[in-house]
Structure 1
Amino acid sequence: MPIPQGFTPSASQAQLEARRTAFATPPNPLAMVSESEVRDALSERHSAATQAKLDAAHVAIAGLGGLGSTIAVALTRIGVGHLHLVDFDRVDMTNLNRQQYFLKDVGEYKTEALQANLAQINPFVEVTIDTTKVTDDNVSELFANDDIICEAFDVPENKTLLVNAVLEQLPSKKLVSASGMAGFRSSNLVETRRVSSNFYFCGDGVTAPKPGAGLMAPRVGIVACHEANMITRLILGEQEA
C-alpha cells in the first residue's frame, strides 16, 4: 500500500494504521456536553451581551498553519459562532512544531483535521470548510458570506494575493493580516496596527524564517493571538488597533 501524502517515509505500516484509526474514531463531543452547558459557561465568562455578539459573527480564516490553526482554536474557545476554514494542504510531521494538530492528523487535509479538533473544544460552533486554493478568481465567491477575513498564510506571495484581492474585490469586509513572526526575537516587537479603515496588520513586519530560526510555536502563536484578539475587537465593535 502506498504511503499517503503527508506521512513520513520512516513510519511503519502499524504506525500509519494507528494514526488512521485514531483519526477515524475520536470521542463524540455531543455525548459529553450540552449546548446549554457550553453557552452558560461562555456567558458566565463574557456576559450574555458580549457572547451574543460573538455567537453572531462570521469569520473566515484563510490558511490553517501555525497562524490559522491557532487563531481558529482561540476563536472557538471564546465561542465565535461561525468559522469558515480555507486551505488546500495536508498535515505533515514538520507542521507539528507550531500548528494545532496531532499525530492522528498527519496526512489528513488541514480543513478536515482542524474541523474535527475544534469540535472537541466546542461542538456548537458552526465550522464550514473549503478544501481549495485561494486564487484571484475565487476570492469574491469564497468569502462572500463572511464578515471578517483573516489572512493566515505562510507564503508571502499568498499573503499578498489575498490582501490585494480582498481590498480590491471586497472592500467593505474587515481584513486582518500578518507578517513577521519567525524565529525567537523579542515578543515586544510584535504589534497590531490599523493600516486603513478596514485593514489591520499584526506582526513585526520584517522577521523572515532562516536556518536555525524558522517558524516556531511561541512567536507564531503570539502573532496568531494578536490576529485573534483584533478579530475579537472588531466583532465587539472596537475599530482601533
Structure 2
Amino acid sequence: MSSFNLMLKNYFNDDLLQKLSRVKVLIIGCGGLGSHIAWMLIRCGFQNLKIVDFDRVELKNLNRQGYFFTQVGLPKVLALKDILTQINPGANIAIAVEKIDGKNVEKIIMSYDVIVEAVDDETTKALIFEAAMKLNKKVVAASGVAGFGDCERIKIKRGRNFVIVGDFATSVKDKKPYAPKVTAVAAIQADEVLRMVVEDE
C-alpha cells in the first residue's frame, strides 16, 4: 500500500477505502469546477478517475481554475492529470481530449459509476444529465456559479440518483466567474460525490 493510502487510514476504515478505490468517477469539464473537484476527490481516496475536456489552459483561466502559470498552453486534461498524480502517484487517471455531444455522450459515460457534470454550456449540461438519468448513473451537476459575495445563496437539490448544486440563477453568460464561489460549488459537488459513495449500499 502506498504511503498516500496509508495516510488515508487516519480518516477512513479499510472497507471504505477499498470502496473509494474501486468506484469509477467521470468528470466532464476540467475548468473552475472540474479541476477543483478532481483534486478534492483524489485527496478523499478516489483512485479511478477519468477527466474529459477539449480545451487548453489559458491565462484568463487562472483567476478561478486549479492550474499554474507554467501550465498555460497545455491541454487541460494533461495539466490536471499532472497535478493529481503529484497528490497521489498511484491514482489511475484516464484522460480524453474530447468535446461532449449527442453522438458520444452515452458511450463516454457508460462505464462509470458516478458522473460529475462540470461544464459551462447549458446544452451540454442537459445532454450529460439526461444521458446519465437514462443509463441509471449517479450524477452530480452544477447550476449557477457566477458572481461573488452571495455564496449563501448556494443550494443543494437532491433527487433519486442525482444532485444539482448552485444558486440556480447566475450563469457565466450573465456574470463573470470568480474563484471563491466557483470553488465553493466545486467543494459541495465533491462532498456530494463522497456522500453518495459512502451511503450507497
How does the TM-score come out when normalised to structure 2?
0.94
> Percent of counterpart pairs with the same letter?
38
Q: Distance in 1 between matches of 2:173 and 2:114?
A: 31
Please name the residue that 1:191 is paired with: 155
Please name the residue that 1:230 is paired with: 192
State whether structure 2 residue 80 is matched by structure 1 residue 118: no
The one-letter code matched in structure 2 to 1:176 is: V
State whether structure 2 residue 67 is matched by structure 1 residue 96: no
| Runs (5+) with no aligned partner, structure 1 | 1-34
Q: Distance in 1 between matches of 2:2 and 2:127?
A: 41
Offset, 1:164: 2.2
Offset, 1:210: 6.6
Offset, 1:141: 1.4
Q: Deviations over 1:43-68 (max 9, x none)?
A: 11222232222111110000000000
1:54 to 20, 26, 30: 20
Please name the residue that 1:65 is paired with: 31
Please name the residue that 1:164 is paired with: 130
1:122-137 alignment runs, 5 A limit:
122-137=88-103
Please name the residue that 1:44 is paired with: 10
1:79 to 45, 52, 56: 45
The one-letter code matched in structure 2 to 1:193 is: K
Offset, 1:155: 2.0
Q: Residue 24 of structure 2 contacts residue 49 of structure 2 at CA under 8 Å; is this kept in 1? A: yes
State whether structure 2 residue 170 is matched by structure 1 residue 207: yes
Q: Distance in 2 between matches of 1:161 and 1:201?
A: 14
Please name the residue that 2:106 is paired with: 140
- The runs of at least 4 consecutive aligned structure 1 residues that moved more than 3 Å come to none
State whether structure 2 residue 121 is matched by structure 1 residue 155: yes
Q: Distance in 2 between matches of 1:79 and 1:96?
A: 26
Offset, 1:178: 0.3
SS in 2 for 1:124: coil
Q: Distance in 2 between matches of 1:81 and 1:118?
A: 10
Aligned length: 201
The one-letter code matched in structure 2 to 1:231 is: V
Q: Deviations over 1:82-137 (max 9, x none)?
A: 00101111110010001111112111101111001111111111100111011111
- Bigger CA radius of gyration: 1
| Runs (5+) with no aligned partner, structure 2 | none
Q: Distance in 1 between matches of 2:27 and 2:109?
A: 10
